[in-house]
Structure 1
Amino acid sequence: MKIILASGSPRRMQLLQQMGWTVEVHSLPFAEAETVNEATEKLDSLRKQFLFSGKKNHTHNEPVLSEKGVTLLLPYRNADLVCAYNALGKGRAAAKETGTGFPVVAADTIVVLGEHILGKPADTVEAKHMLQTLSGKMHTVKTATVVLYQKKTLLQVVTTNVYFRRLTDEEINWYVETGEPLDKAGAYGIQGKGAVLVERIEGSYDNVVGLPLTAVYEMLRRAGVDSIV
């Protein structure tokens, strides 16, 4: 099966390819939301384009918004809105170019500690500060995934709790010097050397890497994609 991936992430491509799917990358520029207020404002305007169906998605306990066969699962939980808006925007940008004859998959991952969203560090100083802040604490990783196929649009946010070990200054300095934290939200990658920073997780490991495969598979099925396996 062919998948259009609206992301330049090699990790997301590898996750899809491990399912045996053919992946074609179409990553286009998109002005992402960075704060909850910004995402809420933009999604509120988007919601006006859809009609509330009055039904509930019992699996995920989220409202279902629909219009003319288009189904959109929009969460209402603070930081979820940021990654939801960004994933939807990336997916729509790719679909506008490629069409939706093949499934278009888009995703956006954020790291949340308390009320703060941790993006990619600007430099090594910020990376060290982020890791010091995460040390010995639990944070959440949220990935919004969008599937656009024919006339259907599905969006789901998956959350994983990640518990960091209490890190020493030496460990933080070593990890930052590897260069791995600089292009990753929250300044770490669980699939790389950053694995040793993590004590345990609750939820999907693939979600922390950047794409919850089970959620993708279930959305493809709901969208009516044939020959998934």
Structure 2
Amino acid sequence: MTKKKSEQIILASASPRRKEMLQASGIPFYIVIADIEEKPLENEGGHAYVQRNAREKAIAICEKTLSQEFVLSADTIVVTNDDKILEKPQNPEHAKKMLQSLSGNTHLVLSGYSLFQNKKEIIARVIETSVTFRKLSDREIDAYIKTGEPFDKAGSYGIQGRAMGFIEKIEGSYTNVMGLPLSQVLLDLKNYAGIETYTQKEA
């Protein structure tokens, strides 16, 4: 277990939600975006897929840096009740199909994350949250798509945005649905990297 402190961590993510959550937590970090292909392998389940993506993002960043800084990477997907992986929609028609499949049903949001240092994985987890949508009309779905909000979000919706009114029930971490199970991540940063909230200078 690595206990060496780093002044900052590298967040291997372009997600504005993850950035905002870490900033709000007082964690010092800067962003380096990992360019990897995100595509499920044949017969790959959601848990394995999201964890593999997180690992590959961290490894890609580790190859770019020689520093001792910790690398935190994450990936989030939506998995339907028939085990279909939903990522970000490719176009309005794709978004509509996703939202129709979620309407009136319960799905899982899976976030995988990894913490690396010196090209070695220190900790990796997959956190799941169960989300139930109320029944949506096509008119509601079409109006939501026109806002443009679905297009950078797994499953074509954001729990913190206009789609919050679609959600009937949630079981598990709320921030996980936003893209990062923040409470668990902060515990792991404390226990495995020696980095605590509001204890160091922010980036």
TM score, norm. by length of structure 1: 0.77
Aligned pair partner of 2:151 in 171, 182, 189: 182
How big is the shift at 1:100?
5.4
1:140 equivalent in structure 2:
108
Equivalence map 1:59-98=2 (5 Å)? 78-98=45-65
SS at match of 1:142: strand
The residue aligned with 1:3 is 9
Match of 2:182 in 1: 213
Equivalent position amino acid for 2:175 in 1: D
Cα separation, 2, equivalents of 1:226 and 1:178: 38
Q: How far off its partner does 1:35 sit?
A: 3.8
- Percent sequence identity over aligned pairs: 41
Contact preservation (8 Å) 2:108, 2:129: yes
For 1:32, what is the secondary structure of its paired residue?
Answer: coil
CA contact under 8 A between 1:33 and 1:85: conserved in structure 2? no
Separation (CA, whole Å) in 2 of partners of 1:17 and 1:120:
24
Q: CA deviation at 1:115?
A: 1.6
Counterpart of 2:99? 131
Q: Alignment partner for residue 30 of structure 1, among 36, 47, 50?
A: 36
What is the distance in 1 between the residues matched to 2:167 and 2:189?
31
Alpha-carbon deviations, 1:106-158, whole Å to 9, x = none? 00001000220012111111111111111010000000011113555211000
Deviates more, 1:135-144 or 1:180-189: 180-189
Q: Which runs of 5+ in 1 are unaligned?
A: 40-77
Is 1:105–2:72 an aligned residue pair?
A: yes
Match of 1:53 in 2: none
Secondary structure, counterpart of 2:122 in structure 1: strand
Amino acid of the residue matched to residue 10 of structure 1?
P
**Deviation at 1:168?**
1.1
How far apart, CA to CA, are the structure 1 residues paired with 2:184 and 2:27? 15
SS of residue paired to 1:147: strand
Which structure shows the higher strand fraction?
1
Shift of residue 5, structure 1, vs aligned partner: 0.4
Matched residue, 1:115: 83
How well do the aligned residues superpose, as a CA RMSD in angstroms?
1.7
Structure 2 residue runs without a partner (length 5+): 1-6
**Whose relative contact order is higher, 1 or 2, with alpha carbons under 8 Å and at least 6 apart?**
2
> How far has the Cα of 1:180 moved from its partner?
0.7
Q: Separation in 1 of the partners of 2:59 and 2:139?
A: 44
Normalised by the size of structure 2, how large is the TM-score? 0.87
